[in-house]
Amino acid sequence: MTDTAFSNVVKDLPSKWIDCEQTRSREKEVRATPHGIARATFRTWAQDDELGNDQRFSDRVAELCLHHKPQDGYNGAYERNKSFIRRREMMDAWAKYCFSLIKQY
């Protein structure tokens, strides 16, 4: 399945998927995209202990997983630690969460 196929599924849904937060802040209708859905879902899981993450991972690691630069006074200019071990742990936990409701036969 290609990224275009999933984009078309979202676009062709009978009801529009509107991003309420973005629509409110931009004051115009903003449709949800697969990219945005995936990132928002991950980030929500990363900060919500009710979804099984139990806040084991820092916001900094979550942002690095999303390939965002750390936000500090220097915009991450001096950041050299890429936290690969913690990122791998976080992404493994995310994968387990994503597939947790799939029954294995």
For residues 22-45, give the mean pLDDT. Answer: 86
Instruction: Give pLDDT, residue 89.
Output: 93
**Confidence check: pLDDT of 24 > 70:** yes
Instruction: Give pLDDT, residue 79.
Output: 63
Cα gap 70→59, rounded to integer Å: 9
Higher per-residue pLDDT: 93 or 52? 93
SS3 for the chain, per residue? CCHHHHHHHHHCCCCCCECHHHHHHHCCCCECCHHHHHHHHHHHHHHCHHHCCCCCCCHHHHHHHCCCCCCCCCCCCCCCCCCHHHHHHHHHHHHHHHCCCCCCC
- 98: its two tokens: 């994503």
2: pLDDT confidence band, cut at 50, 70 and 90?
Answer: confident
Cα gap 92→57, rounded to integer Å: 12
Instruction: Give pLDDT, residue 38.
Output: 85
